[in-house]
Structure 1
Amino acid sequence: MTILNTATAASAPAVSADQRLNRLLLRKLMPLLIVVYVMSFLDRTNIALAKASMGIDLGLSAAAYGLGAGLFFLTYALAEVPSNLIMQRVGARFWITRIMITWGLLSAGMAFVQGETSFYIMRLLLGVAEAGLFPGVMLYLTYWFDREQRARATGYFLLGVCLANILSGPLGGALLELDGVLGWHGWQWLFVIEGLPAVALAYVVWKKLPDGPSSAPWLSAADAQDIQRRLDAEKAGAPQQSRLAQMFRDKQIWLAIAVYFVHQITIYTVIFFLPGIIGTYAALSPLQIGLLTSVPWIAAAIGAATLPRLATSPGRCRALLFFGLLTMAAGLLLASLSNSFIGLLGFSLTALMLFVVQSIIFVFPSSRLTGNALAAGLAFVTTCGLLGGFVGPTVMGLIEQTTGNTRNGLWLIAAMLVVAAMLSTRLRQGQESVDQPQQSAAQARA
């Protein structure tokens, strides 16, 4: 008993020190990163609220809107890998600052589109400008957090999406009410007022965001060394791939891509079409639609803030992925069957798990890659997944124009989520074998 107490006492300070350091990292890094992501999502998704008035003023059909919404993700996806490789070379602080300045200016420039062609061009340019932000932050978090803490940090980062969608409804609805002020349409005010703050925030990123632990003024040399020691120990514990060719041959990477692809179809379908679907519930003003649109994203924020911290083992990660994807499917089915409060409840159920699933998916490929393969691999997973951001809105726009009812497409996405849930049970981290069901079950219970 004495020996046991002595060992426990000896290990307690180390555990306490790790917890203290993790809390410090979360407190110093995540608030700024969350605000950056809030701004990015406001600027990439504000066309959801502008859809109706832009369609009238510019003569955009539902199919043209869906295509324009999706084109952003086409160029965004194509530029992801080169953007992450550049960030690894020039540093996170410089590259994220550059991303913010260009996307802020182009988002504000959306106020000057004249029709379908200029709408498409501006969405394509906005995709190139913002490319690299999400995989860049996923790479950036690997500089600070080990695998056990990374899902939690990613979950906090994804709170930015929830907060953006909570804010975008009321804010966008209020800005649309400026229609006619100084001769501008409401949607023009929406793009300018939400786009330019990103340029100002870029200065804060340049001044406050460290490239890594060694350049953080709020970390002692001992703490920076401790972070590096933990990350090095994790890499040594499992053989990882450092070459791009090895990454492309890893079936686990492609499995993660398949799950992420379906996830991205779901999230951007909800983001771009939720306001329009809510608008069919009753005769509502833009502000009322905006307020109701915020409800599912409050549920998403609750999920992102509470559930990813449970993903502390490979088994638990798989369990959360599996049940999260099935929950999302059930929510969409419920939303497709009702055009009232029950439908909004269904969207809220889906939203609850959106960022729980997303925060966990990237733990799997990051546990199997290192060096350039890690930078390119995370970007490649994001690239392929974000093609779902192109497919989802485009297909939903065609379904709406063909059938006259957007909700018909929700059945298709729900079925895809069930397939993705089945695939997620085969995901493995590091040295894990796919043929270890008993070990995985034990880890899930741990």
Structure 2
Amino acid sequence: MKALASLKPGNPAYVAAMNKLNFRKLMPLLILAYIISFLDRTNIGMAKDRLEIDLGISAAAYGLGAGLFFLAYAALEIPSNLIMHKVGARFWITRIMITWGVLSACMAFVVNDTSFYIMRVLLGAAEAGLFPGVMLYLTYWFGRDVRARANGYFLIGACIAVVAGGPLGGLLLEMEGIGGWHGWQWMFIIEGIPAVLLAFVVWKHLPNRPQDAKWLTAEQSSELECRLAAEQAESIEASGTHSFFQIFKDRTVMLAIFINLAHQVSLYSVTYFLPSVIAKSNDMAPWLVGSLAAVPWLFGALGALFITPRANTPQKSKNFVIIGLIAMSVGTTIGVLGGSVLSLVGFALAGLFWFVVQPIMFSVPGTRLNGVTLASGLALMNTIGITGGFFGPTIMGAVESRTGSGLGGLWFAIGLLLLAVVAACFLQLDPKKVQTKGDKKNLQDA
């Protein structure tokens, strides 16, 4: 705050100091929330083989159950984001964390396919809105020049969750028989508790808007909100997209939504099936399987830390998206065709760009939408994208059941990634330019 007080509001040094302060105050808590969220979302991958042995849940049933989470999540994303826009992030994120933590722990009590499906649906409904809610929340604090960076830092939480969660999940699985419970039951219960505890920290420390931040003066928060409002007004004037239904006519936003869908199909197909593929190809302890399955996510964190911050102009962002999608396509292909070591190298290459492509795509709506339309647009993007978490695992499970190939279903993901490369070439990420006749018509109508 002292550094800000000594600078003139609005100049580059002041803006940089403001961004640095807000990063330091907000991102650790948001990242920690996403670590726990993603841990509870993906620990099901560690339990796959044990659920089949203990409960008789087949690969196809597992894939369907894993995917049902995302259908429920997707169905409630837009309502959830609109509620958060109205009641504030502090209350709504707290509510989300308490309900998902309780339900995640209750996964320990599934007994068959039906109860597995029901709990996955309830868990998806409970967590709905967290990711797009945070994407919306970050637009209240950061301008478009650093928003991809902020989004990328938030997504590091997913990388940390998998890198740490793999070995942790493996160790918890080794609690088999303690207290008469299976190891996977202990894993779900122990990993569900932190979400409930952290919810109270969020309630106490997360401000709804800059005007509520204790670390900013009234003048500083007012300057920040006015500056971001002016930036969004410029974006609206450029895009001409003023309502939810006009989003579907905005070519750049729709291309970004498709690219994010392809990204999600690829990411979740690998996430939910890689641990079991590693376990079947080698005789390893569960904690080692979890550690190896976390390698792509470790590279994902490196990409988010060192590549995404460089996407600070429209042209650089577009170039990184195209390069990232090509790298994901090539890496995933190597993962399917290579041997055990080469496959892991391929998935690491794909993982390096997982959280380069996604944060840039989620910065797109903020350059073209505003207010309720922005809240709806971000939720729509994640609603469609998160269905990739249904289609990817479902297709992977079906292919494995029919062919015995644990990775054969990834050809579907590779095809989508190649289509996404083509789509990325037509992105218009500069809000000052209008790309299509439809955009021009929107400007005239506005």
Alignment-derived partner of residue 273 in structure 1: 273
Secondary structure, aligned partner of 1:253: helix
Distance 1:336-1:74 versus aligned 2 partners, 3 A rule: same
Provide the secondary structure at the position in 2 that maps to 1:279.
Answer: helix
Q: Distance in 1 between the 2:294 and 2:153 partners?
A: 18
Following the alignment from structure 1 to structure 2, what is the Cα–Cα distance between the partners of residues 180 and 104?
A: 24
| Counterpart for residue 440 of structure 1 | none
Q: Match for residue 212 of structure 1?
A: 209
- CA positional deviation for 1:415: 2.2
| Counterpart position of 1:432 | 433
Moved more, 186-195 or 424-433: 424-433
- Alpha-carbon contact 2:232-2:369 (below 8 Å) kept: no
Partner of 2:37: 40
- The amino acid across from 1:342 in the alignment is L
Same amino acid, percent of matched pairs? 52
**Compared with structure 1, are the counterparts of its residues 177 and 397 closer, same or farther at alpha carbon in structure 2 (3 Å cutoff)?**
same
Return the letter of the residue paired with 1:201.
L
Partner of 2:441: none
Q: 1:149 aligns with which of 146, 149, 154?
A: 146
The runs of at least 4 aligned residues of structure 1 exceeding 4 Å deviation read: 10-13
1:203 — aligned with what? 200
- Could you tell me the TM-score, scaled by structure 1's length? 0.93
Q: Following TM superposition, by how much is the alpha carbon of 1:378 offset from its aligned partner in structure 2, in angstroms? A: 0.5
What corresponds to 2:382 in structure 1? 382
Work out whether residues 242 and 371 of structure 1, in 8 Å CA contact, stay in contact via their aligned partners in 2. no
Distance 1:341 1:71 in 2: 32
The aligned runs of 1:208-247 (5 Å cut-off) are 208-238=205-235, 239=237, 240-247=240-247
1:172 pairs with 2:202 = no
> Mean alpha-carbon deviation: is it higher for 80-89 or for 295-304?
295-304
Find the aligned partners of 1:13 and 1:159 in 2 and give their Cα distance: 29
Tell me by how many angstroms 1:277 deviates: 1.6
Q: Secondary structure at the match of 1:284?
A: coil
In 2, the alpha carbon distance for the partners of 1:11 and 1:103 equals: 44
Superimposed CA distance per residue, residues 87-131 of structure 1 (whole angstroms, 9 cap, x where no aligned partner): 011000000000000000000000000100000000000000000
2:273–2:407 CA contact under 8 A, matched in 1: no
Q: 1:13 to 1:263 in 2, by over 3 A?
A: closer
- The equivalent of 1:106 in structure 2 is 103
Aligned to 1:345: 345
Question: Contact (CA 8 Å) 2:155, 2:355: kept in 1 or not?
Answer: yes
Bigger Cα displacement from structure 2, 176-185 vs 381-390: 381-390
- Identify the residue that residue 331 of structure 1 maps to in structure 2: 331
In 2, the alpha carbon distance for the partners of 1:40 and 1:392 equals 20
Tell me the alpha carbon deviations over residues 118-160 of structure 1, each in whole angstroms, 9 at most, x when there is no partner. Answer: 0000000000000000000000001001111100000100000
Alignment-derived partner of residue 442 in structure 1: none
Please, which of 48, 51, 54 is the counterpart of residue 57 of structure 1? 54
Distance 1:223 1:288, change over 3 A: same
Q: State the 1:297 CA deviation.
A: 1.3
CA contact (8 A) 1:93 1:206 kept: yes
1-structure distance, mates of 2:278, 2:129:
32
Q: 2-side partners of 1:377 and 1:12: how far apart? A: 31
Deviation string 1:223-264 (CA, Å, 9 cap, x unpaired) is 212211221221232315332222233222221111111011
Distance 1:263 1:196 in 2: 30
Counterpart for residue 443 of structure 2? none
Secondary structure of the 1:242 match is: coil
Give unmatched runs, 5+ long, in structure 1. Answer: 1-9, 437-446
TM-score, structure 2 normalization: 0.93
Is the 2:232–2:368 contact (alpha carbons within 8 Å) kept by the matching residues of 1?
no
* Post-superposition CA distance 1:374-402 (Å, at most 9, x none): 11110011101111111000000000111
Partners in 1 of 2:139 and 2:296 — Cα distance?
30
Q: How does 1:283-362 map to 2 (within 5 A)?
A: 283-362=283-362
Mean Cα displacement is larger for which, 335-344 or 300-309?
335-344
The offset of 1:340, in angstroms, is 1.6
Q: Shift in Å at residue 276 of structure 1?
A: 1.2
Cα deviation for residue 218 of structure 1 reads 0.8
* Greater Cα shift, 90-99 or 328-337: 328-337
Mapped contact 1:281–1:339 kept (Cα < 8 A): no
Q: Is the 8 A contact 1:242 1:372 kept in 2?
A: no
In 2, Cα distance between the equivalents of 1:330 and 1:219?
46
Please say if residues 49 and 275 of structure 1, whose CA atoms lie closer than 8 Å, have aligned partners that are also in contact.
yes
C-alpha distance in 2, partners of 1:94/1:435? 40
Show the counterpart of 1:71.
68
Residue 180 (structure 2) pairs with residue 183 (structure 1): yes
| Helix, strand or coil at the partner of 1:408 | coil
Q: Give the AA of the match of 2:123.
A: L
Q: What is the letter of the counterpart of residue 162 of structure 1?
A: C
Distance 2:158 2:435 in 1: 33
Aligned to 1:405: 405
| SS state at 2:364 partner | helix
Report the secondary structure of 2:392's partner residue: helix
8 A contact 1:364–1:428 mirrored in 2: no
Cα pair 1:162 1:297 within 8 Å, conserved: yes
Q: Distance in 1 between matches of 2:288 and 2:152?
A: 29
Q: Deviations over 1:339-383 (max 9, x none)?
A: 321111111111110011111001222211111111111001110
Looking at structure 2, the residues matched to 235 and 74 of structure 1 have their Cα atoms a distance apart, in angstroms, of 31
Contact 1:261 1:387 in 2 (8 A): yes
Aligned residue in 2 for 1:7: none
Query: What number of residue pairs does the alignment pair up?
Result: 427
Counterpart CA distance in 1 for 2:62 and 2:250 is 37
C-alpha deviation, 1:270, in angstroms: 1.3
**Alignment correspondent of 2:442:** none
C-alpha contact (below 8 Å) 1:280/1:339 kept by paired residues: no
* Kept after mapping to 1: 8 A contact 2:241/2:250: no
Residue 94 of structure 1: aligned partner: 91
